[in-house]
């Protein structure tokens, strides 16, 4: 079982790495969408005056995109963060669908199991398969396409894998705690690349702002022109930094919302497996069923021995 959990953790790490690569690739088309939504390149520096700086539309334009090396990089990072959030939202929707399907499977296959079964109930010894229909639950956990992406189905499959007979609640609880820790750790840590890129945005915006200001100083340095309106030059120079800082805040708020929804989903998944599966198992130890059968056999042998003794005592009296 240790190998199964390690393999599960390795596959999840690989999956999140591939997720990040897909988000990076998604930044290419996403930057085009951002550019189209922001109105393309927008105005030119010659058409900007002090009045246009005061308008809200000025701060939603991208006149700096094609100037310098940092402009395309900044726009690409915008696209990466946007694609990351979109893919993360889709992943959360798929996980919610998988958890709903797993909950229906558990309710269907465990419907006949008592809520609070007693360890000495007769049905435990007569029909041990009714304690936990392992085969049917394993088939439900391997159902396509949920087995590819659903954490609920993957965790259920690992909980039931390698079970000989009826698994004990202690054994399954230990597995569930290990899997729960893996899912929580990897899901939370998978946000780190997003956070680092979001923190890097203002720095790239500052570099681009410095380059834009340097371009405005070129006519003055070369003696071919004047600096122009200080307000306009300052606004045009600060525009990349302001937009990068605002984007970092907006993307951070979106990430905070999605991460809390993911935490809620993981909590709901943990509660589902505990309430619908682990809490219903009457056997706390794997040897409980064997001990009950042994005690029942010994009790039956004792009854037969007492009957023989009783018959032997009655024989001389006849």
pLDDT reported for residue 285: 47
Angle between helices 230-276 and 192-222 (to 10 degrees): 170
Length of the chain: 318
User: Which of 5, 2, 3 is CA-nearest to residue 154?
Assistant: 5
Q: Which residue has the tokens 């094609």?
A: 66
The reply to whether the predicted model has a pTM over 0.85 is no
pLDDT reported for residue 84: 96
d(CA 250, CA 252): 5
Between the alpha carbon of residue 189 and those of residues 18, 192, 196, 241, 270, the distances in Å are: 14, 6, 12, 28, 19
Contacts of 202 (CB under 8 A, 6+ apart): 241, 244, 245, 248
d(CA 229, CA 264): 52
User: With contact defined as beta carbons under 8 Å apart, do 274 and 105 qualify?
Assistant: no
Contacts of 62 (CB under 8 A, 6+ apart): 35, 38, 39, 40, 41, 42, 75, 243
Per-residue pLDDT of the chain (318 residues; tens, 9 = 90+): 566 788 888 999 999 999 999 999 999 998 888 877 766 545 555 555 555 556 556 666 777 777 777 888 888 999 999 999 999 999 999 999 988 988 888 777 776 555 555 544 455 545 555 566 666 777 777 778 887 888 888 888 888 776 555 566 667 777 888 888 888 999 999 999 999 999 999 999 898 888 877 776 765 555 554 555 566 677 777 888 888 999 999 999 999 999 999 999 999 888 888 777 776 665 544 455 555 566 666 666 777 777 777 777 776 554
User: With contact defined as beta carbons under 8 Å apart, do 231 and 53 qualify?
Assistant: yes
pLDDT reported for residue 284: 47
284-292: long-range pairs with CB below 8 Å, 24+: 284/168, 284/169, 284/170, 285/168, 285/170, 286/167, 286/168, 286/170, 286/171, 288/119, 288/168, 289/124, 289/125, 289/128, 289/165, 289/166, 292/119, 292/120, 292/124, 292/125
- Phi, psi of 142, deg, nearest 5: -90, 10
User: With contact defined as beta carbons under 8 Å apart, do 48 and 58 qualify?
Assistant: yes
Q: Which two tokens stand for residue 155?
A: 């965790």
Between the alpha carbon of residue 253 and those of residues 101, 157, 246, the distances in Å are: 30, 35, 11
């Amino acid at each position: 079982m240790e190998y199964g959990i390690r393999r599960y953790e390795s596959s999840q790490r690989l999956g999140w790495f591939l997720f990040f690569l897909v988000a990076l690739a998604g930044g290419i088309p996403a930057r085009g969408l951002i550019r189209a939504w922001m109105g393309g390149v927008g105005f030119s520096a010659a058409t900007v005056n002090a009045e246009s700086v005061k308008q809200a539309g000025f701060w939603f334009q991208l006149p700096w995109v094609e100037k310098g090396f940092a402009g395309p990089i900044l726009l690409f990072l915008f696209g990466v963060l946007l694609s990351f959030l979109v893919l993360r939202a889709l992943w959360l929707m798929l996980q919610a669908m998988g958890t709903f399907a797993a909950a229906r499977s558990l309710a269907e296959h465990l419907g006949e199991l008592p809520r609070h079964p007693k360890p000495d109930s007769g049905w435990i010894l007569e029909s041990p398969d009714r304690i936990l229909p392992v085969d049917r639950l394993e088939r439900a956990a391997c159902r396509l396409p949920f087995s590819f992406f659903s954490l609920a189905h993957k965790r259920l499959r690992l909980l039931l894998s390698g079970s000989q007979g009826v698994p004990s609640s202690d054994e399954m609880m230990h597995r569930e705690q290990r899997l729960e820790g893996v899912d929580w750790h990897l899901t939370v840590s998978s946000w780190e690349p997003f956070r680092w890129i979001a923190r890097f945005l203002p720095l790239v915006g500052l570099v681009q702002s410095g380059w834009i200001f340097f371009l405005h100083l070129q006519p003055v340095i070369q003696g071919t022109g004047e600096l122009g309106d200080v307000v306009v030059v300052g606004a045009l120079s600060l525009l990349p930094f302001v937009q990068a800082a605002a984007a970092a805040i907006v993307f951070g708020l979106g990430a905070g919302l999605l991460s809390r929804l993911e935490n809620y989903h993981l909590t709901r998944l943990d509660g589902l497996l505990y309430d619908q599966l682990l809490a219903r198992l009457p056997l706390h130890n794997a040897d409980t069923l064997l001990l009950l059968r042994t005690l029942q056999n010994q009790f039956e042998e004792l009854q037969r021995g007492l009957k023989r003794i009783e018959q032997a005592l009655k024989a001389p009296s006849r």
